[in-house]
Structure formats: C-alpha cells, structure tokens
Amino acid sequence: MDTKEMNEGIEHEEDKGSSLKNIEYEYAQIPCDQLVEFGLKNAAIFPPHKEPTRSLMLQSVKELGVLESIIVRALKDNRFEIIDSEQRWRYAMAVGLKYINAKVGKNINDDQAFRLYAMLNSYTRYRR
C-alpha cells in the first residue's frame, strides 16, 4: 500500500488541518543520532520483532544497509521523530550505520503523525 492508496480512503475529511492527503515529503539522509522514537506510540499494539526475525533483519542490514526509507517528521530542535519503520532505525544503529534514508514529512501535526503511525504500522503488521 503506498501513500496514494492510503490517502484515497480519507479524502472525505472535513477538517483539512488533519488531512493526510496534502502532506508534502522530501527525501534526505538523516544522521541516526538525530532520530527519536515516535512519542505517541503504544508499544503494546506494535511490539518489536522477535527471534528469528530480529537476527535475520540485523544480518540483512549489516550486509545490505537499510533498503527502504523510514518516514519522519522534523522537530524544532534539529531532530526528527520516526513515524514509520522504527525497527529499521534500530537495526541501523545496532550495526553502526551513521545515516539512514528518510522521507521527511513537512509540517506534520500530532494528529496527522498519530494517524500515519497507526495506519502504516497496522498495514506492516498485517502484511507479514
């Protein structure tokens, strides 16, 4: 499911301030130490990977790097909050990568960030 498909289901929203449809993104390489976990998440809903998935993912990132960009939003203090793919960041840090490719959402508010987080992580968990 790509961003366009996700957005098709939310076009009817009346509150344009929380719409996910019009978020603009740019791609960047972000230093891993400038990233922080998503502050509004519920770890009970989306727990971290377990073995053997964890070992396989660590080996893959060690050999190939992180192949798919994470999704983040900029914070005011020159840091970035991870909205999607926190595990990729954790694996990158674990194998010593200094930078990670990111899709940076511009001006994403808390409501938009939470909705993106829930939608993207739900899709990822059901896709496995």
* Domain edges within the chain: 3-10+19-35+46-127
pTM, to two decimals:
0.76
| Residue whose structure tokens are 């993207």 | 120
CA nearest neighbour of 122 among 4, 38, 6: 6
Give 57's strand partners.
Answer: none
Q: What is the pLDDT of residue 52?
A: 87
Half-sphere exposure of 34 (CA within 13 A, CB side): 19
Question: Which residues sit opposite 32 in a β-bridge?
Answer: none
Looking at residue 35, its pLDDT comes to 97
Given 3.30.450.40, 3.30.230.70, 3.90.1530.10, 3.40.50.300, which CATH number is that of 3-10+19-35+46-127? 3.90.1530.10
- Structure token digits, residue 57: 């993912």
Question: Could you list the pLDDT tens digit for every one of the 128 residues in the chain?
Answer: 455 555 554 444 445 557 888 899 999 999 999 999 998 765 555 567 788 888 999 999 999 999 999 999 999 899 999 999 888 999 999 999 999 999 999 889 999 998 998 888 775 554 44
Dist. CA 66–CA 68, nearest whole Å: 6
